Structure 1
C-alpha cells in the first residue's frame, strides 16, 4: 500500500471517528428538513441534497423533507398569464391561483425531489397535507397589510396549520422510506389551502417531536453586526437582537418561525445555507456545524 493510499485511508478514518458520535446522537431520531424554493433551483445542488437525505436514512436517522416552491409557482403563474399579488410577504391566493399552487407543489416539484432521492438509491414517497388528513388547515384570518401601503387585502386561500395527524408519517418513518411533503392542506370547510412551507415544517416537526428542524435558506444563518455567523442562540437572546437592530429585514420572520417550531415541541432549529455543499451533513455529523442553532 502506497504512502498516499495510507494517508487517504487515515483521513477517511478520522472523518468517520468525528462523525460517529453524531451519528449515535441522531440514531432513530427524526430530523425535518425544510428545503426552500431558491435552494432547489440548481439541479447539481438538488442531487447532492437527495444523496445527503439517502445517507442520513442509511445512517439510522429518520429524515422528513418539507419543500417550498415560491419561485416555481411564480414562473408557472406568469406562463399562464395569471398575475401574482403579495401582501405582507404572502401570496394572495384566489381560486385559480390555489389550483396552480397545488399542481406545482404536489405535482412537479414534489415528484422531482422524490425522483432525485430514488435515483440516489433511496425510497422516497411524495405526500401533501391532505394525505391521511395529515394537516388540517385554517384560513389565515389576519388581513396582511401590503408593504407598499395599499389597503389591507384578504389573502384568499392561504392557510395555517390548525391540526396535525401523524398517523401516516408514523407508518412511514423507520421503514427505509423518506417522506417528501408539499405544504398544501385541506380545511375543515373542504377547501384547499396554500400553507407557508416554513410554518408547515414547524408544525410537522413539532407533532413528530423532531430532534432537529433544519431551514435550508440562501443565507449562512443569523449574523452579528460584524456580519459574522452566530453559532448558537436562545429564544431570549433573539428577542434582544431584534430589539437592538442586529436581526433585521427578512431574517426576522425566519427566526420567528424558528421560535414557533420550538414552541410546537422541536428540540432545536437550525438556519443554514442550502447551497453550501452537503450542508445538512456538515450540520448534523461534524463538530463544526454549518449554521445557527436556536434552542429554547
Structure 2
C-alpha cells in the first residue's frame, strides 16, 4: 500500500478519503429518494384526485331515482290539491245545521295499516324500498281519489226539492266549490296515472259499483243537502291531509313537529284498533 501511495500528497489523500466515506453514506438515501420520486411520477393524475369518499361512493340506481321522482311529483300535486281545496272550502257557509257522522256512502281509508306497513320485508325480486313503497301506495291513493271523484259528481247532480231565498247564496258557493274540486281532483288523478305509466306500472281497475251510494239520495231538501255536503267535504279534507302527511312523514322522520303529531295520531288509532280486535276475540270466545 505504501508503494502505491509514495509521492501522493497527504492532505489530498485525506480529502479523497472523506469524500468517499460521505458518498458511501449519502448514496443509498439519495437512491431511495429518487426511486420515491419516480414512483410518484409514474402515478397517473387521476389516481391522486381520488378521495376516500369517492372510493366508497356507490353508483346511483336509476330505477330508485325514477320511483323517487315519481313519488315526489305526486306528493307536490297532493300538496297543491289540498291547498286549493282548503282555500275554496273556507268560502263555504258552514252553519250549525251540520251533523257529524260516517254514513255508508262516505269512502273509508285504513290509514293505520297504510302508515305502519313494513316495506323492508319480504324482499321480493330485488326491488328497492322506493319501488316497493310506490307500488304499494299508488293503487290505494288512486282508488280513494277516484271514489271521491264519483262522490262529488253525484253531489254535483243533486236536485233540491225546496229551499228558501237565503239558501241561494250557498248554492252558488257550493257549485263553485264542487266545480273547482272536481277539476283539481281530475288533474291529480291524471298525474298519478302518468307517473304510474312512467315506471311501467299498470293502472289498477276501478269498480264504481263497489261504492255504497244507494243511500245517498239525489233529490233532497236544503237541510239534507247541507248535511251531506259537510260530511263529504270534511271527509275529503281529512283524506288529503292524511295522504299528504303519509308521503311527507315516513316512520323514521320524527323531528318535525307536524310529522310527530301525525305519528302520534296513527299510533293512537293503532292502539284503539288492537283493543277493539282483542275485545271482539274475547267476546266471541
Task: Please tell me whether Structure 1 or Structure 2 has the larger radius of gyration of its CA atoms.
Answer: 2
Going by fraction, where is helix more abundant, 1 or 2?
2
Tell me if TM exceeds 0.5.
no
TM-score (norm 2): 0.29
TM-score normalised over the length of structure 1: 0.28
Greater RCO (CA < 8 Å, at least 6 residues apart):
2
